[in-house]
Amino acid sequence: MDSHQQKAGKIEKERNIKDSSQVPRNESLKIFHQNIRGLGNKTSELYCHLHHDIPHILCLSEHHLSESQLQWINLANYSLGASYCRETFLKGGVSIFVYRNLKYNTINIYEYNIDKDIEACAIQLDSTFNKLCILAIYRSPRGDFTNFLKRLDQIFQKLYKKNITSPYVAM
């Protein structure tokens, strides 16, 4: 085991000790976004970045995983809230992980995804932080920008029609 893995293991043990089962009500919402460029072998490195200020929400773009691979990712104290995995091309993808015990609903926006043009997923928090809507969005530099804007507008129209009028955070 290299020193990086040992440090990540120590951080995880410390983290489990100091984590409470519920985020305190007076605490501000912490959202962490990272273009991870391949999550599969970087979970230990990710924990090292999160050690000092544990976020409530993790938005990860370019996870490079299939749906089945993403389901096997174990981020302690987090559950997979929403995701999109590419169907045609390799790599890409977006995901939102939610800190344990935070209540949320997954918002289905799958139909608006087009590999490379727009890759998005969304949740709506239903707890301490009211009804905040969080979207994780990725567009490849090789994607069609006009199509990206059109689809993004369609996503916001759908949210509005579903009466999801809470504040949005798009990452």
CA angle 135, 149, 120 (to 5 degrees): 30
Q: What pTM was computed for the model?
A: 0.81
| Residue 152 contacts residue 110 (beta carbons within 8 Å) | no
Fold of 29-170: Deoxyribonuclease I; Chain A (3.60.10)
Neighbouring-strand partners of residue 121: 136
The DSSP bridge pattern shows strands 31-35 and 57-61 to be parallel
Q: Please list, residue by residue across 132-154, b when 16 or more beta carbons sit within 10 angstroms of its beta carbon and e when fewer do.
A: bbbbbbbbbeebeeeebeebbee
- pLDDT tier at 15 (50, 70, 90 boundaries)? very low
Averaged pLDDT for residues 50-70: 88
d(CA 95, CA 46): 14
Neighbouring-strand partners of residue 110: none
Predicted local confidence at residue 25, as pLDDT: 55
What number of residues does the chain have? 171
* 18: three-class secondary structure by DSSP: helix
Predicted local confidence at residue 169, as pLDDT: 86
Q: Give the up-direction half-sphere exposure of residue 74: CA atoms within 13 A in the CB hemisphere.
A: 2
Predicted local confidence at residue 26, as pLDDT: 57
Neighbouring-strand partners of residue 119: 138
Task: Give residue limits of the domains in the chain.
Answer: 29-170
Question: Does pLDDT of 87 surpass 70?
Answer: yes
For residue 79, which phi and psi values (nearest 5 degrees)? -120, 150
Predicted local confidence at residue 129, as pLDDT: 58
- Going by C-alpha positions, the residue among 168, 153, 47 that lies closest to residue 97 is 47
